[in-house]
């Protein structure tokens, strides 16, 4: 099977956000940046409760609640902006270049305007499908990003990847419900 496509900034952004949402260290960092300030505000609310200062008690309780429930919106947008900036600075020379992946019996050939490589098919760790992309993750932690909207007849790919899963044991993961949160 031969797949021809090109990538744009939105494809790279979706890939970066998907990868971040599955990273244990990013999940932990995001949880801590949400929980620690909210806990600190609650601590101060308790202090003011024992001092009998109800105005400050309610102010810090309100801060804790607002932080805990609204900070994730800010955090989500902050990550998005940081990745957009990174992509604009470091990946802009890769936009719009035609690339081809050719699946052969025992290997995958990857070719673009500047390079060509062959990868043993056993080096594919997993294939993930999201609403917008197919991601072929290699055992070296590199990935091929395959944007559905830029591949002719992409509807045939899930069946092909399911066959690869059955024949080669390469997991084909359905993450169609994934969203950046």
SS3 letters across the chain: CEEEEECCHHHHHHHHHHHHHCCHHHHHHHHHHHHHHHHHHHHHHHHHHHHCCHHHHHHHHHHHHHHHHHHHHHHHHHHHHHHHHHHHHHCHHHCCCEEEEEECCCEEEEEECCCEEEEEHHHEEEEEECCCEEEEEECCCCEEEEEHHHCCCHHHHHHHHHHHHHHHCCCEEECCCCCCC
pLDDT (0 to 100) of residue 153: 85
CA dihedral 32, 35, 37, 41 (to 10 degrees): -160
| Backbone phi and psi for residue 42, each to the nearest 5 degrees, phi listed first | -65, -40
pLDDT value for 93: 86
Q: What is the pLDDT of residue 161?
A: 94
Residues 123 and 139 sit within 8 Å (Cβ to Cβ): yes
Rounded CA gap, 10 and 148, in Å?
Answer: 12
Cβ atoms of 80 and 72 closer than 8 Å: no
Binned average pLDDT, 10 residues per bin, the chain of 181 residues: 93 96 95 96 96 94 96 95 95 89 92 92 94 95 94 91 92 95 89
Per the DSSP assignment, residues forming a β-bridge with 162 are none
- Answering whether pTM is above 0.85, one says yes
Taking the C-alpha atoms of residue 171 and residue 181, their distance in angstroms, rounded to an integer, is 25
């Amino acid at each position: 099977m031969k797949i021809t496509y090109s990538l744009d900034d939105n494809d790279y952004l979706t890939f970066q956000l998907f990868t971040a949402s599955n990273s244990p260290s990013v999940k932990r960092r995001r949880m801590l940046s949400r929980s620690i300030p909210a806990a600190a505000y609650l601590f101060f609310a308790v202090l003011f409760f024992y001092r009998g200062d109800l105005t400050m008690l309610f102010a810090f309780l309100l801060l804790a609640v607002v932080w805990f429930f609204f900070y994730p919106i800010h955090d989500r947008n902050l990550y998005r902006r940081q990745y957009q900036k990174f992509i604009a600075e470091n990946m802009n020379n890769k936009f719009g270049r035609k690339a081809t992946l050719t699946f052969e019996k025992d290997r995958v050939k990857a070719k673009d305007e500047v390079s060509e490589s062959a990868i043993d098919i056993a080096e594919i760790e997993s294939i993930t499908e999201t609403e917008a992309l197919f991601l072929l993750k290699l055992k070296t932690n590199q990935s091929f990003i395959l944007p559905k909207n830029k591949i002719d007849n992409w509807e045939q790919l899930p069946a092909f990847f399911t066959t690869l899963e059955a024949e080669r044991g390469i997991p084909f993961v359905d993450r169609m419900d994934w969203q950046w949160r």
